[in-house]
A and B are shown apart, each in its own frame.
Chain A
Amino acid sequence: MHKIDTDFIYDSQRLIFYKQSLAADDVSKIETLIPINDLFDSLKERLEAEDPVSSTVRLSALTQAGICLTNGCNLRCTYCGDNITNENLVSLTLDDVAVYLKEIMKRWLLNKLVTRKEEPLEITISGGGEPTYNWNLFQETVLLIEKKCADNHIPLSLRMTTNGILIPYQREFIMNHFSYVMLSYDGMPELQNKNRISSEYPISSNIVEDTIRYFLAHNLDFTVRTTLWQDDCIRLKDIIDYMVSTFGPRIKWTVLPVLPTGRALNRIDRKSDELKNQDFVEYYIEALEYSKEKYGDISIGTPMFSDHLIALFCSGLSCNCACPWLLPNRDIITCIDAPNTKTVIGTINDTGVEIFKKCVDPLLTQSIIKYSECRDCIAYRFCKGGCPAKHLMTVEHETALSNWECSMIEKYWMYVFRKILKGEECFGWKVEPINTIEEISGYGVLKLVRIDGDNDVY
């Protein structure tokens, strides 16, 4: 139970709000008549039934897969989580991709047989360093995937991430072959050139902005991802002004503060004392209100705050893998956000793809720990203890930023709850009175719902 200001209590197990002034007997009646969401308690049993030291790998039918071609990169971003240098480069070969692709296509066919539906096979080329770093390998991979899928009548959707350091024919190739692109650009030249640097591209903003303009002009579906150092959160409104004035209001944009991992640790440790003054939630909310007033509805999001209820964090039972990733070292893992703390479910060996029967699942271990630690938090239903990969990446380097992020998420939900309890809609949420249960119809109990009606738990 959580107090929301002086008036309301939030019952996170039932996703309801009721007045603090209600008598204990009335509260008991509410608790009896409104059941706890099944997924809330059954999660414990699900987690306890698994063995993180020897998890059964359940990779079966699928419609999504990822390929991380290389960990090479042409930038040396100040916050790079992988801390790539020229000394630790690893890349896949086209043969590796072909062997993996056949396995993926077979599992897609299996999905078709099981569901009797032909959803597109969604393949994402991402991760590591920059997917286009070895352009020939990237191009040949794309053409191979397209040919194999066409030969086998498999509908295909290709997605990718890029840092946008692309020359004209590369932009055109991506334009012609990909249905969605996530492009990294840090919001304005000053920040981009400060954060995303290399000896080859000391000023990367011009070339990346040209890429954005090209994609916009050709109506490619893409999102710009901005990574912000905590002390740059204060610039969010400036960034919005720059992005809209430079690219127009159609731009889709998402922002994420730096994570405490890899190269970022060098600076985070030094600056951790200042974090308490850097309130991403306040800057983010202020920036959204500012942009709405000035530019109307433009698309600004952040992966930091979930917009739906979560049954379990995406990789929490990661051995139940719905989207395997092939890494440059030929490991097959369950989550691209965890290349260094990975749950390895298979590999490519001399005879082809080998999917293991059992695996060690460090991501599951984290979910079990977080279930105990976090289940009483106000944000648990939306956060589920947060990304286990992120926890693992940062566990050896405890910094103030880990707690900073956690407190931001709690603060965000407190903000949302206060707003909706005043009768407003906030970030897709609102409250509705519960009038259908006669015994408590006069108690003013409110339930938390999505404005779009999508109250499913993911």
Chain B
Amino acid sequence: MFINNVESRVKKLVTESIDGELVLFNAEENQSIMLNRSASIIWEYISGAEASGKSVSTDDIVSMLCSLYSIPSDQRQRLYNDVIQVINGFYDSGLLIRI
């Protein structure tokens, strides 16, 4: 899959959730990560896109979140920056891998 035109793949992890917040565990590397609600939604969106063979952009994710939370358009840019930060965090922590 492509994320913002960068070919990437999602790390295969075991997951559980509490009230919509994900707990991810990578048994091979004994690594665990707990996501807050927003990061969990973004992660599930990206994972879902990969499973159905689609590409994802930051704009897609921002649009999805704006629709989900009825976020006014004047806050879109701030949200955009937050989503980029979350996606970078996924790469940094090895949840997303650049191919």
Contacts and interface: CB of A to CB of B under 8 A. Distances in A.
Interface of A: 60-61, 102, 105-107, 109-110, 112-114, 148, 151-152, 352
A152 B18 contact: yes
29 contacts: A60-B32, A61-B32, A102-B19, A102-B21, A105-B18, A106-B18, A106-B23, A106-B34, A107-B34, A109-B17, A109-B18, A109-B23, A110-B16, A110-B25, A110-B32, A110-B34, A112-B16, A113-B16, A113-B23, A113-B25, A113-B27, A113-B32, A114-B25, A114-B30, A114-B32, A151-B19, A152-B18, A152-B19, A352-B36
A383 to B, nearest CB: 33
Contacts of A102: 18-19, 21
Contacts of A107: 34
Given A102-B19, A107-B34, A114-B27, 17 more contacts: A102-B18, A105-B18, A106-B18, A106-B21, A106-B23, A109-B17, A109-B18, A110-B25, A110-B34, A112-B16, A113-B14, A113-B23, A113-B25, A114-B25, A114-B30, A152-B18, A352-B36
Interface of B: 14, 16-19, 21, 23, 25, 27, 30, 32, 34, 36
Contacts of B36: 352
A352 B36 CA distance: 10
Contacts of A109: 16-18, 23
A349 to B, nearest CB: 13
B14 to A, nearest CB: 5
B37 to A, nearest CB: 10
Contacts of B32: 60-61, 110, 113-114
Contacts of B17: 109
Nearest to B34: A106
A289 B28 CA distance: 55
A151 B17 CA distance: 11
A60 B27 CA distance: 14
Contacts of B25: 110, 113-114
Contacts of B27: 113-114
A106 B23 CA distance: 6
A102 B19 CA distance: 8
A100 to B, nearest CB: 13
Contacts of A105: 18
Nearest to B30: A114
Q: Which 7 pairs show the lowest CB-CB distances between chains A and B?
A: A113-B25, A109-B16, A109-B23, A105-B18, A106-B23, A106-B34, A110-B32
A48 to B, nearest CB: 25
Contacts of B30: 114
A60 B36 CA distance: 16
B52 to A, nearest CB: 25
Contacts of B18: 102, 105-106, 109, 152
Nearest to A355: B34
A411 B81 CA distance: 66
Contact of B23 (A110, A151, A352): A110
Nearest to B23: A109
Nearest to A352: B36
A145 to B, nearest CB: 13
A153 to B, nearest CB: 10
Contacts of A352: 36
A222 B54 CA distance: 58
B54 to A, nearest CB: 28
Contacts of A148: 19
Nearest to B14: A113
Indicate the member of B25, B27, B30, B36 with the most A CB atoms within 10 Å: B25
A117 to B, nearest CB: 13
A274 B17 CA distance: 59
B63 to A, nearest CB: 25
Nearest to B15: A113
A105 B18 CA distance: 7
A263 B17 CA distance: 46
Indicate the member of B19, B27, B30 with the most A CB atoms within 10 Å: B19
A151 B16 CA distance: 13
Nearest to B21: A106
A151 to B, nearest CB: 8
Contacts of B23: 106, 109-110, 113
A66 to B, nearest CB: 19
Contacts of A151: 19
A112 B14 CA distance: 11
A113 B19 CA distance: 17
Contacts of B34: 106-107, 110
Indicate the member of B18, B25, B30 with the most A CB atoms within 10 Å: B18
B30 to A, nearest CB: 8
A123 to B, nearest CB: 15
A114 B14 CA distance: 10
A107 to B, nearest CB: 8
Contacts of A60: 32
A113 B36 CA distance: 18
